[in-house]
């Protein structure tokens, strides 16, 4: 499972409206960085970010740990609403 699929799987398990989840990987200037953008419905944004950003930071930590096992790249995840 690649990093985008992992991120999408984690986010879909948190939100109420799974159909509105979009996860895309973008090119970065640095070869050692992976930039992932997560878009969710406005009602689910609070669920994904969590209180004081704890849920979002946990998602980032899980995906970063997976990356360090495979290709050891830095993962940057941005979360936003439609």
The per-residue pLDDT for range 67-82, each reduced to its tens digit, is 999 888 999 999 999 8
Number of structural domains the chain divides into: 1
- In whole angstroms, give the CA distance from residue 40 to residue 11: 9
In a structure prediction context, what are the per-residue pLDDT tens digits for the chain, which is 82 residues long?
799 999 999 999 999 999 999 999 998 888 899 999 999 999 999 999 999 999 999 999 999 999 999 888 999 999 999 8
Please name the residue that has the structure tokens 């930590």: 61
- CATH classification of the domain holding 44: 3.30.300.20
- In whole angstroms, give the CA distance from residue 12 to residue 41: 11
Q: Give the domain range for residue 47.
A: 3-81
What is the 8-class DSSP label of residue 66? H
- pTM given for the model: 0.92
Contacts of 14 (CB under 8 A, 6+ apart): 44, 47, 48, 55
């Amino acid at each position: 499972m690649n990093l985008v699929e992992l991120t999408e799987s984690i986010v879909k398990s948190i939100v109420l409206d799974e159909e509105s989840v979009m996860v895309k990987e973008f090119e970065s200037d640095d070869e050692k960085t992976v930039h992932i953008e997560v878009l969710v419905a406005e009602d689910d944004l609070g669920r994904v970010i969590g209180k004081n950003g704890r849920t979002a930071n946990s998602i980032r930590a899980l995906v970063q740990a997976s990356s360090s096992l495979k290709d050891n790249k830095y993962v940057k995840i941005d979360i936003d609403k439609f």
